[in-house]
Amino acid sequence: MNAMSEVLLVLLIACGAFFALVGSFGLLRLTELLRRLHGPTKASTLGVGCILLASMLHRYLASGEIGLREILITVFVFLTAPIGAHMLARTALASDPDLAPPRPDAPPAAGEDAQH
């Protein structure tokens, strides 16, 4: 491996760690359930994707093999995280309909000004 590929690997790992940290921080700091879903599903998925991409690239540069395991893990994470978040959001909205944001075409509620 040359220095340029090592720099690329370090950048991918650092980017992945940063997004995983941001996703974890969002899960801790955001207050409402629907807002808390964005941390683990968006940022953490991107962080895991960057780390898996670095792992695949390292394996390819070191041995010339394509990492089938990493590809399968990436596909699994990218498919299950949004589906899990969607199921959690639907369950939350079914248990408490007041969590739903107002529809754009709905008239304003009593005491609210219409925004133009």
Q: Is residue 111 part of a domain?
A: no
CA distance 31 to 75: 30
Q: Is residue 76 part of a domain?
A: yes
Q: Is residue 100 part of a domain?
A: no
pLDDT, residue 27, reads: 83
Q: Is residue 45 part of a domain?
A: yes
Q: Is residue 105 part of a domain?
A: no
Q: Is residue 106 part of a domain?
A: no
26: left (phi over 0), alpha (psi -120 to 50) or beta: alpha
Q: What is the residue-averaged pLDDT of the chain? A: 85
DSSP state of 12: H
Number of domains in the chain: 1
Minimum mean pLDDT among 16-20, 30-34, 87-91, 92-96: which range?
Answer: 30-34
pLDDT, residue 14, reads: 97
Q: Is residue 69 part of a domain?
A: yes
pLDDT, residue 16, reads: 94
Q: How confident is the model at residue 59 (pLDDT cuts 50, 70, 90)?
A: very high
Please check the confidence at residue 47 and state whether its pLDDT lies above 80. Answer: yes
Please check the confidence at residue 114 and state whether its pLDDT lies above 60. Answer: no
Average of per-residue pLDDT across 41-55: 89
Higher pLDDT, 93 or 17: 17
Q: Which structural domain, as residue segments, surrounds residue 55?
A: 3-95
Q: Is residue 57 part of a domain?
A: yes
